[in-house]
Amino acid sequence: MNSNTDFTLAIEDLTVSFDGFKAVDSLNFYLDQNELHVVIGPNGAGKTTVLDLICGKTKSTSGSIKFLNEELTKMSEHEIVRAGVGRKFQTPSIYENLTVLENLEISYPYGRTVAGSLMFKRSSEVLEKINQTASEIMLQDDLDTEAGLLSHGQKQWLEIGMLLIQDPQLLMLDEPVAGMSVKEREQTAELLNKISKGRSVLVIEHDMEFVERIAHKVTVLHQGKILAAGNMEEVQNDPKVIEVYLGH
């Protein structure tokens, strides 16, 4: 067994059964700081379930998930967010009729409710953080734009910004470029490369061109287990991976 202390995230022997069906089966998985790790694999492989387990949405049947040495399997979803885990789902959950600035402000960790944070007086510190986040997500010129008017890609970036403003040490993204234009994909690749510095990023993705652009490491899941792991080249040339996933 690895020593957990060196990793941002250390998953050991993690299993979840749904009515006897093991969606995740004795999984071992480690993530370093500054690492951008992509999980790929066929439909039903267990990718989303792994993210659900990490963020506490699904409870494990057995095994351990250590994040910065805290055991996540014992914590509620809320506690896991506060411990520094941010997760972006496929469909954006931004507030369409609020501006970009207001969306970012709502997500600032001082206010946990919409009403609470809107009533809070904006301090220069908060504004500075909002501006810094907006430029990171390429929306610095859209602070006063209603979120509903943004392009599909910009909405996805805004949601990433709403997570970034909370300074998560682990950011998880489920198919972040689905539905994006070619240009937006390129910009998202740059964005993810930037934001993996100083934290860990875990991405589920099917678009192999995008995976190639961003991944430091790739893990291939199949039937709840790791089929292969390594850098993109190793994984792409693995006959098992070609057989169950890339060859299709």
Under the criterion CB under 6 A, does residue 46 sit at the interface with ligand ATP? Answer: yes
By the rule CB under 6 A, 9 interacts with ligand ATP:
no
Q: Which is nearer to ligand ATP, 39 or 85 (CB)?
A: 39
Strand ranges of the sheet holding 200-204, from the earlier edge strand across to the other edge? 85-88, 170-174, 200-204, 36-40, 217-222, 225-230
Among the listed ranges 39-47, 111-119, 136-144, 233-241, the one in contact with ligand ATP (CB under 6 A) is 39-47
If one asks whether residue 45 binds ligand ATP (CB under 6 A), the answer comes out as yes
Cβ–Cβ contacts within 10 Å for residue 75, how many?
17
Of the candidates 1, 5, 20, 43, which one interacts with ligand ATP according to CB under 6 A? 43
Q: Cβ-count burial of 246 within 10 angstroms (0-12 exposed, 13-18 middle, 19+ buried)?
A: middle
Exactly one of 29, 30, 49, 184 binds ligand ATP (CB under 6 A); which one? Answer: 49
Decide: is 92 part of the binding site for ligand ATP (CB under 6 A). Answer: no
The minimum distance between CB 124 and ligand ATP, in angstroms, equals: 42
179 binds ligand ATP (CB under 6 A): no
Q: Establish how many alpha carbons lie within 13 A of residue 94's alpha carbon, considering only the half-sphere containing its beta carbon.
A: 31
Structure tokens at 74: 């014992």
Per the structure block, which two tokens stand in for 173? 């993204």
Binding residues for ligand ATP, rule CB under 6 A, total 10
* Closest distance to ligand ATP from the beta carbon of 241 (Å): 14
- Contacting range for ligand ATP; rule: CB under 6 A; set: 37-45, 63-71, 124-132, 227-235: 37-45
Q: Which of 248, 217, 247 is nearest to 235 (CA)?
A: 217
Q: Which whole-number Å values give the CA distances from 203 to 42, 85, 120, 172, in the listed order?
A: 15, 13, 33, 6
Query: In this chain, which stretch among 43-51, 76-84, 122-130, 142-150 interacts with ligand ATP, using CB under 6 A?
Result: 43-51
What is d(CA 60, CA 64) in angstroms, rounded to the nearest whole number?
Answer: 8
The pair of structure tokens assigned to 148 is: 């509903």
Position 48 contacts ligand ATP (CB under 6 A) = yes
Candidates 18, 78, 209, 243; binder of ligand ATP (CB under 6 A) is 18
Catalog residues that contact ligand ATP under the rule CB under 6 A: 18, 23, 41, 43-49
